[in-house]
């Protein structure tokens, strides 16, 4: 799963520690999410969305989603 957490944080000039405090997690967790090493749970993703006043899908998106959409489209026409 990819995410725009680092970009959104940078746009607001927040540090990882500040974001971690706001989301009630450790700084290590923020770093691991930003670098794509760890996918957050749904409640944490919702908290991030609420904090940035965005929809979840505007922050997190599935890497395979485009491929899946193409496959579904292909199947529809077969």
Partner 1 sequence: MSTKLYTKTTIGDMMNQLKPPENGYKSRIRTSTIRLYRWHGAWAAATMLMAFGPGFLWHRALGLTLLAAGLDVAAGVGMILATKKFIEELDELQRKIFLNALGIAVGVGLIAGVPWTVMDAYHVIHFHANFGFLVILQGLAFMVSLLYGTWRYR
SS3 per residue for the chain = CEECHHHHHHHCCCCHHHHHHHHCCCHHHHHHHHCCCCCCCHHHHHHHHHHHCCCHHHHEECCCHHHHHHHHHHHHHC
Cβ closest to partner 1, residue 10 vs residue 54: 54
Binding of partner 1 by 32 (CB under 8 A): yes
Which residues, 1 to 20, sit near partner 1 by CB under 8 A? 12, 14, 18-20
Chain positions contacting partner 1, by CB under 8 A: 12, 14, 18-22, 24-26, 28-29, 31-32, 37-38, 40-41, 44, 51-54, 58
């Amino acid at each position: 799963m990819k995410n725009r957490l680092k970009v959104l944080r940078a746009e607001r000039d927040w540090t990882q520690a500040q974001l971690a405090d706001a989301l009630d997690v450790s700084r290590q967790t923020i770093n691991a999410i930003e670098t794509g090493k760890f996918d957050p749970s749904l409640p944490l993703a919702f908290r991030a969305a609420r904090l940035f006043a965005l929809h979840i899908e505007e922050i997190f998106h599935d890497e395979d989603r485009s491929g899946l959409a193409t496959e579904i489209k292909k199947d529809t026409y077969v």
